[in-house]
């Protein structure tokens, strides 16, 4: 009888063990699945951050916010080497600690991590200790993981996540953290191209307008405040003729006067740039095509009635021969009258602005050289 009871108890215990193991596996499977879902959400959030914000700085700050929120990280800091110095590009740590955070690469503690491209985990054993790299602070962080960042085997900076609890990352899933790190690198790689564009934005000498690259940074930030906008590109179709028949100096003055007239009559909410050569772009932010028709017709009519000449003083400054005194310079020279060709199209937030501009440019470049209209494509 006793033996039977023991056997039954053993079987019950074995059953419970098997049940617990099964439950544990299911829980672990659920955790892994949940982690994968979280990772997918983070990747999606990263992509949204790239699309929703415009400047490189805003994008990097946004992805750091995503990390803190999604993974419940106490502190997260992304430091990037820009070719000249290390800069804190994003951090939820008080700015008074940034000097220490952007100089971690100088510490022997992290040099091996950078050279071997492997993460470094540091922690303290009790609340009375502090991490080796902390200088002005004492109780903020008690454990941290340092990740060097590489793009195509080129070291570009690091990401450090910190906690206020000792040994907080002892059992963290490093595989997940590697995925996060690679997502950060992917975003930095993507925005690197935009950073290049932003760094080469210039103002045109004659028009005083920003160059084409402005449209893809600060300009797009303004445009994307609205769901739909109208993009207008126009071309001074007779600028080469003016340069040839009169002078390049007069051609430059034509560009200046047209640009000034449009700037004076354009709302500050709209973006106006010199796109390339005789082509210009106006982005009517938040306005549909029907809403700009009257303005464009009026503007075109006004510009094409302009008679533009060089003054006698301008001719002297440019060392252009001034006519005999019996006639003034203005009386002796013919006036240049600009002719414009316009093309407009709708732009929807989240779509490719560069594709819209390419389509408009192709139309103007292939249009009949004498065409002077406002065309909707």
Strands (E) located in 101-236: 120-123, 143-151, 154-163, 228-236
Q: Are 259 and 208 in contact (CB under 8 A)?
A: yes
What pLDDT band is residue 77 in, cutting at 50, 70 and 90?
very high
> Which pLDDT value is given to residue 351?
78
> Which pLDDT value is given to residue 191?
64
> Which pLDDT value is given to residue 326?
44
Q: Does the pLDDT of residue 315 top 50, yes or no? A: yes
Nearest CA among 90, 347, 77 for reference residue 222 = 347
Q: Does the pLDDT of residue 279 top 90, yes or no? A: yes
> What integer best gives the mean pLDDT of the chain?
80
Of residues 247 and 159, which shows the higher confidence score?
159
The CA–CA distances, whole Å, from 92 to 67, 69, 149, 162 equal 11, 11, 19, 11
pLDDT in tens, 83-100: 778 889 899 998 888 888
The CA–CA distances, whole Å, from 209 to 40, 283, 309 equal 42, 13, 22
Q: Does the pLDDT of residue 361 top 80, yes or no? A: yes
Buried b (16+ CB within 10 A) or exposed e, 165-204: ebebbeeeeeebbebbbebbbbbbeebeebbebbeebeeb
> Which pLDDT value is given to residue 277?
87
Give the mean model confidence (pLDDT) for residues 249-258: 90
What pLDDT band is residue 30 in, cutting at 50, 70 and 90?
very low
What pLDDT band is residue 16 in, cutting at 50, 70 and 90?
low
What CA dihedral angle connects 197, 203, 207 and 213, to 10 degrees?
A: 10
Structure tokens given for 89: 């590009």
Least confident of 122-126, 206-210, 335-339: 206-210
Three-class secondary structure of residue 271 per DSSP:
strand
> Which pLDDT value is given to residue 201?
62
> Which pLDDT value is given to residue 298?
92
Q: Does the pLDDT of residue 193 top 90, yes or no? A: no
Give the mean model confidence (pLDDT) for residues 232-242: 92
| Kind of pairing between the strands at 154-163 and 86-91 | unpaired
Give the mean model confidence (pLDDT) for residues 320-327: 53
Give the distance between the most distant pair of CA atoms in the chain. Answer: 138
Percentage of the residues of the chain whose pLDDT score is greater than 90: 28
pLDDT in tens, 65-75: 887 887 778 89
Of residues 275 and 21, which shows the higher confidence score?
275
> Which pLDDT value is given to residue 10?
63
Half-sphere exposure of 27 (CA within 13 A, CB side): 6
Of residues 47 and 74, which shows the higher confidence score?
74
């Amino acid at each position: 009888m006793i033996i039977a009871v023991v056997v039954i108890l053993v079987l019950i215990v074995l059953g419970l063990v098997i049940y617990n193991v099964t439950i544990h596996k299911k829980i672990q499977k659920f955790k892994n699945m949940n982690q994968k879902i979280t990772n997918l959400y983070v990747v999606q959030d990263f992509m949204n951050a790239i699309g929703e914000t415009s400047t490189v700085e805003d994008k990097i700050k946004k992805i750091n916010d995503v990390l803190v929120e999604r993974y419940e990280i106490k502190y997260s800091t992304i430091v990037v080497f820009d070719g000249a110095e290390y800069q804190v590009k994003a951090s939820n740590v008080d700015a008074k600690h940034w000097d220490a955070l952007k100089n971690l690469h100088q510490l022997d503690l992290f040099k091996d991590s950078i050279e071997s491209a492997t993460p470094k985990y540091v922690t303290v054993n009790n609340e009375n200790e502090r991490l080796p790299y902390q200088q002005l602070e004492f109780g903020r962080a008690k454990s941290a993981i340092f990740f060097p960042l590489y793009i195509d085997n080129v070291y570009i900076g690091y990401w450090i996540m910190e906690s206020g609890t000792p040994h907080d990352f002892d059992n963290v899933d490093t595989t997940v953290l590697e995925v996060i790190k690679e997502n950060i690198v992917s975003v930095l790689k993507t925005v690197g191209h935009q950073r290049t564009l932003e760094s080469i934005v210039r103002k045109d000498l004659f028009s005083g307008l920003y160059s084409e690259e402005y449209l893809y940074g600060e300009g797009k930030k303004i445009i994307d405040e609205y769901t739909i906008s109208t993009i207008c590109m126009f071309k001074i179709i007779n600028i080469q003729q003016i340069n040839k028949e009169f002078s390049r100096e007069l051609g430059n003055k034509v560009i200046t006067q047209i640009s000034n007239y449009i700037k004076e009559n354009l709302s500050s909410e709209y973006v106006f740039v010199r796109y390339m050569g005789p082509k210009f772009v106006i982005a009517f932010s938040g306005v549909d095509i029907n809403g700009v028709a009257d303005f464009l017709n009026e503007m075109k009519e006004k510009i094409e009635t302009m008679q533009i000449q060089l003054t006698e003083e301008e001719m002297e400054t440019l060392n252009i021969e001034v006519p005999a005194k019996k006639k003034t310079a203005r009386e002796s020279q013919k006036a240049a009258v600009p002719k414009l060709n316009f093309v407009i199209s709708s732009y929807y937030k989240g779509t490719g602005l560069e594709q819209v501009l390419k389509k408009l440019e192709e139309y103007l470049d292939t249009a009949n050289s004498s065409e002077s209209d406002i065309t909707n494509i």
